């Protein structure tokens, strides 16, 4: 009971804190920094969700932009295409009011996450048969297929993409609230998984799949679950990106983006949630900070990346965590000194 | 308790087992001896569902388990200490044991009991619970692999060459413990190249040669057999 109460309080405090922060920052912050902040949040969600697949269960998916794209386009399709078709009949779906915006965003999020999660299920299935580099190619192939499809579907704008997506924050200044809510959700979800016995089974799949099988771990289920959860979160990132940066085009979801997200996970230290968060922040902020270098910017950026990988080949954090001990699970106790 | 009927296993077009028949009765220690490449590990993998036999059947307590997936077999009471131990090297000893008991993780009390039982069987592991398993010595790793399998409370424990790479004294220690485990009511199927030690603790044995069972007898007779002596006991 007491723990439940504490949880409820923690959740309330988080909500209120995020809400106030969102209000405050939106008014005070320079729009340019604001946009960088939003991108950071989106990429943290992407990196942390890919870390569930690659870092924790040890698969090698490098097509995360594909799921990001599915979420973004499905979410945007709701607000720009489907919602206008049904709003005449269901007037409570009207946008422009606080509750209308929230309702529409939630619908977009649900649709985006379900579609991306289903895509993750379909792409995750080959992971049962494909290993390592073959799986990598399959996932990259999936992302490319999505990219090419988007380029060629005219109803979603082809190469130009969709612009002027309603921000859904016309009232309330809630962009940061939503984005950092999902940042927190993806981090807490990772943490809960890693601290549970179930998380141990996820890690066992990374360590030695055959041994995991032999110990009674349903490795098929673990891998597909990781794919579905990871992709659904990437889908949420897509919905948020589409609605708060108000424009999407296939280019945003190209192979470069897939590689960028993969780099974040590797650079942070595969398996480390903290590492993913920090690496995502660094890789988004760094190119902005290097803007003064003008044309040499990307060269310096690449050199810095190489230096970071050379000095910390296991990633910034290895598999360590800050802020929560990796295993705080209740351990079976035994009498005597070993407990 | 366990019965293999005409079990045939292929890797691609290579036949690794040509229709073997074996049975293990409740409470027994049965050993399968054979040289490198005879198909011993293949048999274990087939029983535990890690590979599908091309034909033939596996029965466990009179139930056909030929196509049951590995995780369900562990729940049914078949667990193994695999060839090469395959402990989770980057996890702690404790986490390895916890994973071994994963199929019963909801039953806290049972896990606690099994945990205490395993640690009392292997006091050497008890002092190293928070150490990462990869830093254990070979013998300790083998103890951990057996302990991990015991955590699932198997009724049939299969071991694939537990003596591999261990000093004779360690092998003797581990085999003595296997005997204790057996006396606690666990039926054991022991795959070995170290025929001496295996036949010492087993009641019956099979000899496997290039995928076929060529001999089957109680251990006394096997130990006395000239062919076995020459081929496996190095006399
Ligand atoms: N994954 C595989 N792919 C192809 N052939 C295999 C595979 N695993 C085993 N084999 C072949 O099957 C045969 C039996 O192998 P198995 O591992 O069962 O032998 P074993 O009796 O356990 O030998 P050892 O004592 O060396 O462990 C061997 O000829 C081996 O080359
Ligand atoms: Mg073998």
What is the tens place of the pLDDT at every residue in B33-54?
A: 998 999 999 999 999 999 999 9
Q: Note the pLDDT of residue A41.
A: 95
Q: Note the pLDDT of residue A325.
A: 53
- Contact (CB, 8 A) for A158 and A84: no
Convert A22-43 to b/e letters by CB count within 10 Å (16 or more is b). beebbeeeeeeebebbbbbbbb
- Please judge whether B115 and A334 are an interchain contact, meaning their C-beta atoms are less than 8 angstroms apart: yes
pLDDT the model gives residue A47? 96
DSSP class per residue in A192-230: HHHHSHHHHHHHHHHH-HHHHHHTT--HHHHHHHHHHHH
User: In the predicted model, is pLDDT for residue A333 greater than 50?
Assistant: no
pLDDT of residue B55: 94
Separation of alpha carbons A282 and B160, rounded Å: 48
Higher pLDDT, A324 or B159: B159
Average pLDDT, chain B: 92
**Distance between CA atoms of A237 and A231, rounded to whole angstroms?**
10
Q: Give mean pLDDT, residues B147-156.
A: 95
Q: Is the pLDDT of residue A27 over 90?
A: no
Angle formed at CA A308 by CA A284 and CA A205, multiple of 5 degrees = 85
CB environment B136-154: b (16+ within 10 A), e (fewer): beebbbbbbbbbbbbbbbb
pLDDT of the residue at A185: 94
Q: Which residues pair with B78 in a beta bridge?
A: B156
Domain ranges of chain A: 2-311
Residue B79 main-chain phi, psi, to 5 deg: -140, 160
- What pLDDT does A170 receive? 56
Instruction: Between A240 and A170, name the one with better pLDDT.
Output: A240
Residue with tokens 């950092």: A180
pLDDT digits (tens, 9 = 90+) for A215-267: 999 998 999 999 999 999 999 999 999 988 888 999 999 999 999 999 899 88
Q: Which atom of ligand 1 is nearest to the CA of B208?
A: 21
Q: Would the pLDDT of A178 be above 70? A: yes
Query: Sign of the C-alpha dihedral, residues A44, A46, A47, A49?
Result: positive
Nearest residue of chain B to residue A328 (CA atoms): B95
The Cα A79–Cα A98 span in angstroms is: 15
Could you give the strand order of the β-sheet that contains B55-60, starting from the edge strand earlier in sequence? B14-24, B2-11, B55-60, B63-64
Q: Output the CA angle A185-A79-A116, nearest 5 degrees.
A: 45
Supply the pLDDT for residue A270: 79
pLDDT of residue A174: 79
Interface of B with A in 139-178 (CB under 8 A): 148-149, 152
Name which of A1-15, A301-315, B120-134, B154-168 the model is least confident about: A301-315
Cα–Cα distance for residue pair B16/B18, rounded to 1 Å: 7
Residues lining ligand 1, judged by CB closer than 6 Å? B 11, 14, 16, 34, 36-42, 83, 193
Q: Residue holding tokens 């300790």?
A: B140
Contacts of B64 (CB under 8 A, 6+ apart): B57, B58
**What is the tens place of the pLDDT at every residue in A57-112?**
888 889 999 999 999 999 999 998 888 888 778 877 777 777 888 888 999 999 99
Q: Give the residues across from B215 on adjacent strands.
A: B207
Calculate mean pLDDT across residues B191-218. 92
pLDDT digits (tens, 9 = 90+) for B98-119: 999 999 988 889 999 999 999 9
**Which of B4, B8, B16, B213 to mutate to test ligand 1, by most ligand atoms within 8 A of the CB atom?**
B16
The rounded distance, in Å, linking the Cα atoms of B218 and B202 is: 8
User: Which residues of chain B neighbour A334 with C-beta distances below 8 Å?
Assistant: 112, 115-116, 119, 126
Maximal CA-CA distance, chain A: 71
Q: Give yes or no for a contact between A150 and A156, defined as CB atoms under 8 angstroms apart.
A: yes
| Cα–Cα dist A97/A112, whole Å | 22
- The minimal CB distance from A332 to the residues B70, B103, B115 is found for B115
Residue-wise pLDDT tens digits, A272-298: 888 899 999 998 998 888 887 777 777
pTM across the whole model: 0.87
CB B102 within 8 A of CB A216: yes
pLDDT at A334: 46
- Taking residues B4-9, report their average pLDDT: 95
B7 touches chain A (CB under 8 A): no
| B133: closest CA of chain A, how far (Å) | 12
Flag if B50 and A327 touch (Cβ within 8 Å): no
pLDDT for residue A39 is more than 60: yes
3-state secondary structure A12-38: HHHHHHHHHHHHHHHHHCCHHHHHHHH
Choose the residue to mutate in B42, B48, B193, B211 for probing ligand 1, maximizing ligand atoms within 8 Å of C-beta: B42
Residue of A271, A332, A336 to mutate when probing chain B, most B C-beta within 10 A:
A332
CB contact under 8 A, B115 and A218: no
Minimum mean pLDDT among A48-57, A145-154, A157-166, B180-189: which range? A157-166
Range name among A139-148, A289-298, B84-93 with the lowest pLDDT average:
A289-298
Kind and range of the H or E element at B174?
Answer: helix B168-183
Q: Which two tokens stand for residue A150?
A: 């988007």
Q: Which residues of A touch B152 (CB under 8 A)?
A: 215-216
- B91 C-alpha vs ligand 2 centroid, how far in Å? 25
| pLDDT of the residue at A339 | 32
Does pLDDT of B22 surpass 70?
yes
Percentage above 70 pLDDT, chain A? 91
- The Cα–Cα gap between B127 and A298 comes to 53
* Burial environment of residue A6 by CB neighbours within 10 A (0 to 12, 13 to 18, 19 or more): exposed
Domains and CATH numbers, chain B: 1-77+154-235 (3.40.50.300), 86-153 (no CATH)
Q: Which residue's CA is the closest to the ligand 1 atom numbered 12?
A: B16
Residue A171 has what pLDDT? 54
| Between residues B138 and A332, the one the model is more confident about | B138
Largest CA distance in chain B: 52
Residue A314: pLDDT band by 50, 70, 90 thresholds? confident
Is the predicted ipTM greater than 0.85, yes or no? yes
3-class SS letters over A146-157? HHHHHHHCHHHC
Residue located nearest, by CA, to atom 28 of ligand 1: B37
**Atom 27, ligand 1: which residue's CA is nearest?**
B36
Confidence of residue B209 (pLDDT cuts 50, 70, 90): very high
Tokens 């932009």 label which residue?
A: A65
Quote the pLDDT of residue B186: 95
Say whether A331 and B94 touch across the interface (CB within 8 A): yes
| Mean per-residue pLDDT over chain A, rounded | 85
**Helix (H/G/I), strand (E/B), else coil: B11:** strand
Count helices and strands in chain B by DSSP H and E runs: 10, 10
**Which residues, numbered 40 to 99 in chain B, qualify as contacts with chain A under a Cβ-Cβ cut-off of 8 Å?**
48, 50, 69-71, 73-75, 79-80, 82, 86-91, 94-95, 97-99
| Rounded Cα gap, residues B180 and B184, in angstroms | 6
Do A218 and B86 count as a contact with CB atoms less than 8 A apart? no
Record: fold of A2-311: ABC transporter involved in vitamin B12 uptake, BtuC (1.10.3470)
Q: What is the pLDDT of residue A30?
A: 85
- Give the angle subtended at the CA of B121 by the CAs of B120 and B126, to the nearest 5°: 55
Per-position DSSP letters for A112-167, written without gaps between them: HHHHHHHHHHHHHGGGGT--HHHHHHHHHHHHHHHHHHHHH-GGGTGGG-EE----
Query: What is the predicted pLDDT for the residue at A26?
Result: 78
Whether residue A313 has pLDDT greater than 90: no
């Amino acid at each position: 009971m007491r723990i439940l109460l504490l949880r409820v309080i923690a959740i309330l405090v988080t909500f209120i804190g995020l809400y106030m922060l969102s209000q405050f920052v939106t008014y005070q912050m320079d729009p340019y920094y604001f946009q960088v902040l939003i991108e950071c949040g989106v990429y943290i969600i992407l990196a942390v969700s890919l870390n569930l697949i690659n870092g924790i269960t040890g698969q090698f998916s490098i097509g995360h932009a594909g799921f990001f794209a599915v979420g973004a386009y499905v979410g945007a399709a709701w607000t720009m295409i489907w919602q206008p078709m049904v709003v005449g009949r269901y007037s409570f779906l009207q946008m422009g009011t606080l509750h209308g915006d929230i309702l529409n965003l939630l619908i977009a999020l649900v649709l985006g996450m379900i579609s991306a999660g289903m895509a993750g299920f379909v792409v995750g299935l080959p992971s049962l048969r494909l290993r390592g580099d073959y799986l990598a190619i399959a996932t990259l192939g999936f992302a490319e297929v999505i990219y090419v499809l988007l380029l060629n579907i005219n109803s979603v704008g082809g190469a130009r993409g969709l612009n002027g997506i309603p921000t859904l924050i016309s009232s309330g200044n809630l962009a940061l609230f939503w984005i950092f809510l999902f940042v927190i959700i993806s981090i807490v979800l990772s943490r809960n998984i890693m601290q549970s016995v179930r998380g141990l089974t996820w890690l066992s799949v990374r360590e030695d799949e055959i041994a995991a099988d032999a110990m009674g771990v349903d490795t098929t289920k673990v891998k597909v679950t990781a794919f579905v959860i990871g992709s659904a979160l990437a889908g949420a990132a897509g919905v948020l990106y589409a609605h708060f940066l108000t424009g999407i085009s296939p280019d945003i979801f190209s192979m470069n983006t897939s590689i960028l997200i993969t780099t974040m996970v590797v650079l942070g230290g595969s398996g480390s949630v903290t590492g993913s968060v920090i690496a995502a922040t660094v890789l988004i902020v760094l190119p902005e900070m290097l803007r003064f270098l003008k044309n040499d910017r990307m060269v310096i950026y690449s050199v810095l990346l190489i230096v970071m990988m050379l000095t910390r080949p296991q990633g910034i954090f290895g598999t360590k965590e800050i802020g929560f001990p990796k295993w705080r699970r209740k351990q079976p106790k035994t009498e005597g000194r070993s407990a | 308790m366990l019965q293999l009927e005409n079990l045939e296993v292929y890797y691609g077009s290579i036949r690794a087992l040509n229709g073997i028949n074996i049975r293990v009765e409740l409470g027994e220690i049965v050993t399968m001896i054979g040289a490198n490449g005879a198909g011993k590990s293949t048999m274990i993998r087939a029983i535990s569902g890690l590979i599908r036999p091309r034909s033939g059947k596996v029965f466990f307590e009179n139930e056909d388990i030929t196509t049951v997936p590995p995780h369900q077999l562990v729940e049914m009471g078949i667990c193994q200490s695999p060839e090469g131990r395959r402990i989770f090297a980057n996890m702690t000893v404790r986490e390895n044991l916890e994973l071994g008991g994963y199929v019963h993780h909801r039953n806290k009390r049972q896990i606690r009991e099994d945990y205490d039982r395993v640690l009392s069987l292997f006091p050497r592991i008890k002092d190293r619970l928070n150490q990462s398993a990869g830093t254990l010595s070979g013998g300790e790793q083998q103890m951990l692999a057996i302990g991990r399998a015991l955590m699932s409370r198997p009724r049939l424990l299969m071991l694939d060459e537990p003596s591999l790479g261990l000093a004779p004294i360690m092998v003797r220690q581990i085999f003595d413990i296997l005997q204790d485990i057996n006396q606690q009511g666990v039926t054991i199927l022991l795959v070995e190249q170290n025929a001496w030690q295996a036949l010492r603790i087993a009641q019956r044995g099979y000899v496997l040669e290039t995928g076929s069972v060529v001999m089957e007898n109680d251990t006394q007779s096997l130990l006395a057999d000239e062919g076995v002596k020459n081929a496996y006991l190095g006399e």
